[in-house]
Every structure is written in C-alpha cells, then in structure tokens.
C-alpha cells in the first residue's frame, strides 16, 4: 500500500522543478535565532529534505548540514543539488529511523515536512539530538491566494466533487494553519516556556498553466487520486487557467515557528 507521506518520490523531478523554495530572510532569521549566523562547525540536521529546496539555502551559508530523506529518488536529487557544498550530506533515512549522536546538534529544522513525522517521536527525538538551548525551526509555505477572486472561484469549481477539499480559510486562518505546533511544543515540556517566536515572510510567484498543473501533481492529496480522476481534474484546471489568461500568480507566506530546548545539564 502506498504511504501518503512517501508519494512525493513518484514525481521527484516534477517536485524539484516546481515546488517553491523559501525566502532567504526566513533562513537568516532561523540562523540568527539559533546563533549560527557565522558558525560553520556546529552540526545542523534537516528533517525530510525532499530534493533539497531548503537544504541548499542553508548549505550556501556554510552550515554543517545533515539532510534526512527517506525516499531514494528524492534523496538522489538532493545529492545532485547539494553537490557543490561539501559541508552538506544527504542521509537516506527517515526521521523515525535516524540515530543522532545525543545532544550534538545546534539546530534541527523541517521545511514542509514536520506533519509527516510520527507524533510520538517528533519532539523527543529533536530534544535528544539538540544541545542545551539548541533550536528547533519548523517552516511551511502557505498559499494565501491563487490569482484574483474570479480565478480562485474557477479553480475551486474545477475540483467539484473530484477531491475532498477543506473549507476555504481567510488570510489570517491560513497563516495560522499550523498553530497546533504551539500546543504540541508546550505540551512536550522539552522547550523553553512562553510564546514561540514566529517568523512570517510574504512573497509571490507566477506559474504558467502547465507549470501550475505540474506543481499540483506533486501534492500528496492529488497523488492519492485515482489516475483517471486526477487527469480529469487537471484538464478542468487547465481550462480554468486558459480562460484566465494562461497563468496564475500565487500569493505565499512562509511561516516559521522557532523554539529552544531547556538548558538543564545538557552540553
């Protein structure tokens, strides 16, 4: 049986071509929070690296980086993308199977992947890996808009009854879609108490029709559709985009949640 968290590997090349990267301001904010702006020796681990979209941004800054990725096809592309950076290594393993050296990492981060990690292990393993007052950074690209209101309506209509979709959220609700993390981190008792630091960076990207369809083909809910249903859906989406000018400007906001481990007697 296909695991939804691993279906991205079926379309690794499409994922690498069309999935968006992340604003450099967010990476700089993470490194500043973790006090790693000018640090090249402190170990950093990435959970669910995919094809290296976020990995490259950290590697470019000289970070000593271990990228965990369970999909062989995704890991292979990550290695290609990280080839110019001898400071970065790709480990073909899941977070669940990873055996980190205890309390040896200054930062553990996950881009677009933390919700796929086993809830029983999420914070316990991060705490095991991190040094005292080490940092955890969890980030996502959140879609705020897909074109103007008429195109949004046309795209919503294209789905019809072909796929289960969540009710549309307003802008503030979409930004807060991952606020469940705050409750989980507090409940773990493994991180400093008090409000989390949250970084937000809005940005926009324009996709031509075929690029947008290819992007959607990398989303797990679309991957899990029966092939004929998926093809019908994508034909409808192409029709909606063609009527709207053949492209769509997607409004994103990158949201990052930051926490530090309790100091205690850790190194």
CATH number of the domain bearing residue 185: 3.40.50.150
Mean pLDDT calculated for residue range 1-7: 87
How many domains are contained in the chain? 1
Per the domain annotation, does 112 fall within a domain?
yes
**Is 168 a residue whose pLDDT tops 90?**
no
Mean pLDDT, the chain, integer:
93
CB 45 within 8 A of CB 127: no
Per the domain annotation, does 135 fall within a domain?
yes
Per the domain annotation, does 266 fall within a domain?
no
Q: If pLDDT is split at 50, 70 and 90, which confidence band does 165 have? A: low
Per the domain annotation, does 241 fall within a domain?
yes
Q: Which two tokens stand for residue 185?
A: 């981190």
Domain around 30: 4-260
Q: Name the least confident of 92-101, 117-126, 164-173, 208-217.
A: 164-173
pLDDT > 70: percent of the chain: 96
Per the domain annotation, does 95 fall within a domain?
yes
Q: If pLDDT is split at 50, 70 and 90, which confidence band does 39 have? A: confident
Of 27 and 267, the structure prediction assigns the larger pLDDT to 27
Q: Are strands 130-146 and 247-260 parallel, antiparallel or unpaired?
A: antiparallel
* Number of residues written out for the chain: 267
How many angstroms separate the CA atoms of 243 and 151, rounded?
A: 9
Per the domain annotation, does 267 fall within a domain?
no
């Amino acid at each position: 049986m296909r695991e939804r968290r691993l279906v991205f590997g079926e379309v690794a090349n499409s994922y690498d071509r069309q999935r968006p990267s992340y604003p450099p301001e967010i990476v700089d904010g993470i490194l500043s929070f973790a006090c790693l702006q000018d640090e090249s020796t402190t170990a950093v681990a990435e959970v669910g690296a995919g094809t290296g979209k976020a990995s490259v941004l950290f590697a470019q800054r000289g970070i000593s980086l271990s990228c965990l990725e369970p999909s062989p096809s995704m890991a292979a592309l990550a290695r290609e993308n990280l080839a110019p950076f001898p400071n970065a290594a790709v480990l073909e393993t899941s977070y669940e199977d990873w055996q980190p050296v205890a309390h040896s990492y200054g930062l553990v981060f996950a881009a677009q992947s933390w919700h796929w990690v086993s809830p029983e292990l999420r914070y316990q393993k991060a705490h095991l890996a991190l040094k005292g007052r080490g940092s955890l950074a969890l980030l996502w690209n959140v879609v705020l808009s897909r074109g103007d209101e008429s195109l949004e309506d046309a795209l919503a209509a294209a789905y019809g009854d072909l796929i289960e979709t969540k009710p549309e959220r307003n802008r503030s609700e979409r930004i807060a879609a991952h606020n469940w993390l705050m409750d989980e981190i507090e409940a773990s008792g493994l991180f400093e108490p008090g409000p989390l630091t949250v970084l937000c960076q809005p940005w926009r990207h324009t996709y031509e029709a075929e690029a947008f369809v290819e992007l959607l083909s990398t989303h797990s809910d679309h991957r899990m559709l029966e092939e004929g249903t998926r093809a019908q859906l994508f034909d409808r989406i192409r029709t909606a985009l063609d009527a709207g000018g053949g492209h769509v400007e997607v409004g994103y906001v990158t949201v990052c949640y930051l926490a530090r481990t309790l100091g205690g007697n850790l190194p």
